[in-house]
């Protein structure tokens, strides 16, 4: 038995349909200014990201070479 029939038998009014959800506006300019101000304030951040990426790449390569016994 469906919910609509059950509600009708119980004398409960039909369920209200949910309102259309609106997503918040995405302000690209404000986000760009926040990111740029953070990068100007802390110029070491991009270097840390590059360093972490290189460490992951080298570590993964070493793990791959050891796992498949390349050397």
Q: Phi and psi of 2, rounded to 5°?
A: -80, 165
Contact assessment for residue 7 and residue 15, using Cβ atoms and an 8 Å cutoff:
yes
Q: Structure pTM?
A: 0.53
Confidence of residue 1 (pLDDT cuts 50, 70, 90): low
pLDDT tens for each residue of 12-68: 998 888 888 888 899 999 999 999 999 999 999 999 999 999 999 999 999 999 999
C-beta of residue 49 within 8 angstroms of C-beta of residue 42: no
Is 71's pLDDT higher than 80?
no
Evaluate if residue 7 carries a pLDDT over 80. yes
Residue 39 contacts residue 46 (beta carbons within 8 Å): yes
In the block, tokens 């270097």 appear at 47
């Amino acid at each position: 038995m469906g919910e609509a029939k059950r509600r009708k038998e119980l004398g409960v009014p039909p369920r209200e349909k949910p309102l259309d959800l609106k997503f918040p506006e995405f302000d690209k300019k404000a986000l760009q200014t926040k990111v740029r101000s953070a990068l100007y304030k802390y110029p070491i951040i991009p270097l840390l990201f590059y360093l972490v990426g290189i460490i992951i790449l080298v570590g993964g390569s070493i793990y791959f070479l050891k796992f498949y016994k390349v050397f």
